[in-house]
Amino acid sequence: MKKITIDPKIFISPPYWKCPKCSAPSSFGVLMVCQQHYVRRCRNCWHTSDFPLPPLNKKVIYIDQFAVSNMMKALNPKTKAYQKETLAPFWLRLFERLDSLSKLQLIICPYSGFHIEESLLSFHFGSLKQMYELLSGGLSFYDHQTIERFQICEHAQNWLSRKPNKKLKLDTNSVIAGNINAWQDKFMISMNFPDKEDWTEDLRKVREKTHKGLARVFQRWQVEKNRNFKDWYEEESMAFGRTALQVYFSHLTKLAEISSGRTKLTISSLLPPSPVILVRSIFEVFRRAEIQDSEIIPKTVQYLVSPSLKNVPFNKISSMLYAALARKAAAGRKKPPNLGLATDIKIISVLLPYCDAMFVDNECHAYLREKPLFQAISGYKTRIFSQNTKQEFLEYLDKIESEASVKHLRKVKEVYGETCPEPYTTLYEKHEPQY
């Protein structure tokens, strides 16, 4: 058995001060950084003291998977793009800006389930995971079904109160696991996934099925010359609630068949699809509003087929993006949607209202700049960028740092050291552990 001896002093890191108790020079270092304070301890006498930290107001920035991938390749010597030097300098520059601002406690780039899923389909899963976890500071968005459920349940309450047009709260803290404005600790613990082969195969099947379905709808749009944006928007926005109901009642039928012995019980039948969980959550909203049990299902059906669902942010944004695609198809676009477009639309529609900025692909960015999408999202604080506006994105990031107070920057260096803003460009180099 290999024996490893860990010296507790390794957890005390610079910057060092003179110890206020034993007066040992350069011994009073940082032991840990907590959400609103940090702790110093002397490496000589173990004297320990807490120091308060000021509140933060970090910008929440979502970085799409293709950008995560390109930044990874810009740093990782094992990738062909790095070896052949085919990547634009922008991707290294973008990483340096994001990583530096994150270390300066000015931004946070939470990762999402979409990052995980798309990374699982890559040969560079581990490297991609390192990249998005580093920039996220360990924070992540809840899965998109959960965020959709939050919005629907709040809107259902408004609908019951006869205020279906009331704006939702859209609190960013409510959709992110972790404290956005916490000071980051110097250590971050990451866990590797178990064998992912089964997961990746299932993901590929779901993605291909979704893509084929969208391709079929795209072909239909191409011949719908007599329809306009509003027609497609109405169709898409009304489809969400009806689909949820169809899935829910189909699930009930399957359970009845299992109960009667006509259908065999499987593990998948025990796990309800996300629309079933959504419908059950609406039931709970109505129960809390003291709706009679006999009226809950009819009331839920009435709600999910009502036009007021167009007021739910994710449904409105998603429906408009698909309507924009339909408009392009009917106008003569020949090229079908790519494999990742459905995912891109889901990401934007669910997360846009909660972010200060998003870096997305060129196609979706172009749709968001068209009428009436531009007007629809103008009520949100979110700035949208893509490769077509990459210089503007770098300027936006530079401005964040330029607006940081001298007092804030001084406190950051007190906690993390003078070199803390330096980007971690050696992320993919081997670092020998020290004990």
The predicted pLDDT at position 196 comes to 54
The predicted pLDDT at position 1 comes to 64
The predicted pLDDT at position 435 comes to 35
Shared-domain flag, residues 310 and 412: no
Which residue type sits at 121? Answer: L
Shared-domain flag, residues 352 and 333: yes
Shared-domain flag, residues 137 and 259: no
pLDDT score of 280 more than 80: yes
Burial 387-398 (b: 16+ CB within 10 A, else e): bebbeebeebbe
* pLDDT, tens only, 368-402: 999 999 999 999 999 999 999 999 999 999 999 99
Closest CA to 245 of 298, 310, 319, 312: 298
Q: What is the β-pairing status of strands 383-385 and 357-359?
A: parallel
Shared-domain flag, residues 256 and 181: no
Shared-domain flag, residues 15 and 89: no
Shared-domain flag, residues 355 and 402: no
The predicted pLDDT at position 106 comes to 98
* pLDDT, tens only, 141-151: 999 999 999 99
Shared-domain flag, residues 118 and 235: no
pLDDT band at 182 (very low <50, low <70, confident <90, very high): very high
426 domain-assigned: no
The answer to whether residues 119 and 65 touch, using CB atoms and an 8 Å cutoff, is yes
The predicted pLDDT at position 430 comes to 73
The answer to whether residues 152 and 282 touch, using CB atoms and an 8 Å cutoff, is yes
The token duo for 209 is 């099925």
Task: Express as a percent the part of the chain with pLDDT over 90.
Answer: 83
The token duo for 76 is 């990782």
Peptide bond into 273 cis (omega under 30): no
Average pLDDT value for residue range 17-37 = 96
Shared-domain flag, residues 65 and 188: yes
Q: pTM of the prediction?
A: 0.92
Name the residue range of residue 35's domain: 9-52
* pLDDT, tens only, 105-117: 999 999 999 999 8
Task: Express as a percent the part of the chain with pLDDT over 70.
Answer: 96
- Of 24-33, 267-276, 359-368, 371-380, which gets the smallest average pLDDT? 267-276
3-state secondary structure of 3: coil
pLDDT band at 121 (very low <50, low <70, confident <90, very high): confident
pLDDT score of 289 more than 80: yes
Shared-domain flag, residues 224 and 370: yes
Shared-domain flag, residues 23 and 86: no
102 domain-assigned: yes
* pLDDT, tens only, 308-362: 999 999 999 999 999 999 999 999 999 999 999 999 999 999 999 999 999 999 9
The predicted pLDDT at position 2 comes to 72
Summary mean pLDDT of the chain: 93
Shared-domain flag, residues 279 and 367: yes
CA–CA dist 421, 154 (Å, integer) = 40
The answer to whether residues 278 and 244 touch, using CB atoms and an 8 Å cutoff, is yes
Number of helical H runs and strand E runs in the chain: 17, 10
The token duo for 116 is 């995980």
What domain count does the chain have? 3
pLDDT score of 193 more than 70: no
CA–CA dist 67, 361 (Å, integer) = 9
The answer to whether residues 113 and 122 touch, using CB atoms and an 8 Å cutoff, is no
The more confidently predicted of residues 271 and 141 is 141
- Of 73-82, 225-234, 252-261, which gets the smallest average pLDDT? 252-261
